[in-house]
Chains A and B, each alone.
Chain A
């Protein structure tokens, strides 16, 4: 199996996640796209771990997963808070820092 298969796949998923982050209005959808990106990274790490024959890539992937979980938890808490104050989860409406 070519290494590049995994890597290209990972790149595709990552860029799809980027599109989602940039193009989606709902905050939760943006968080989902972030999950996509993180998963793409995980695939990359595991592929390299298999290629190199070391386990550190998989350990790293585990950590990434953990951190993703934490991030989603906090992120959703924030989205909830925003929803409670602005009564919307539309990211376009959250432009208080507009210049």
Chain B
């Protein structure tokens, strides 16, 4: 069963990974800005699915809630408010896309080489305690026990961001 479970997980992973990869490429290559936002949604959803695969359910649902539910909406509002070109003839890429491609490919190559060299033989063991690790109970306990101070600081940060955004963007 384990082998089967492992196999199923691998297949699921790969399907999700391919989808995410293609969608990511779509985000950065699409010439329609709204399409890019929608591709982003695909990537974010795929990420949430990946979290579920490793039994990090709380993180997955937070991801869906915040990222897809709020951030993408923000993006769409931003697209609307800045009158981003919906259907324009000019491209959405700037002049340095070739060098950018080179740099990012180069960077990918380096990181990949590093990772393969470092973690080539490591495995994620899917055990039962992973579920208990990633459920809300455990994560919440960890936050409010071990990581309370960072939690409070992040809430301050959110407050500051909120106020700051309002101040920056308001009309006088």
Q: Which residues of A contact B (CB under 8 A)?
A: 1-9, 11-20, 22-29, 31-33, 35-36, 39, 42-43, 46-47, 49-51, 53-56, 58-59, 61-63, 65-74, 76-81, 83, 89, 91-92
Contact = CB atoms under 8 A, between A and B. Distances in A.
A73 B54 contact: no
Contacts of B161: 70-71, 73-74
Contact of B21 (A12, A18, A73, A76): A12
Contacts of A83: 81-83
Given A18-B104, A24-B28, A80-B81, A59 B142 contact: yes
Interface string B41-63: 00110010011001110110011
Contacts of A1: 6, 9-10, 13, 123-124, 126
Contact of A23 (B6, B17, B101): B101
Contact of B78 (A18, A28, A92): A28
B62 A65 contact: yes
Contacts of A47: 54, 124
Interface residues of B, number: 90
Interface in B150-169: 150-151, 154, 157-158, 160-162, 164-166, 168-169
Nearest to A84: B171
B100 A4 contact: no
A16 B28 contact: yes
B33 A29 contact: yes
Nearest to B28: A20
B28 to A, nearest CB: 4
Given A11-B112, A65-B66, A77 B157 contact: no
Given A3-B123, A35-B67, A47-B124, A13 B24 contact: yes
Contacts of A53: 129-130, 133
Contact of B40 (A15, A35, A59, A62): A35
B58 to A, nearest CB: 7
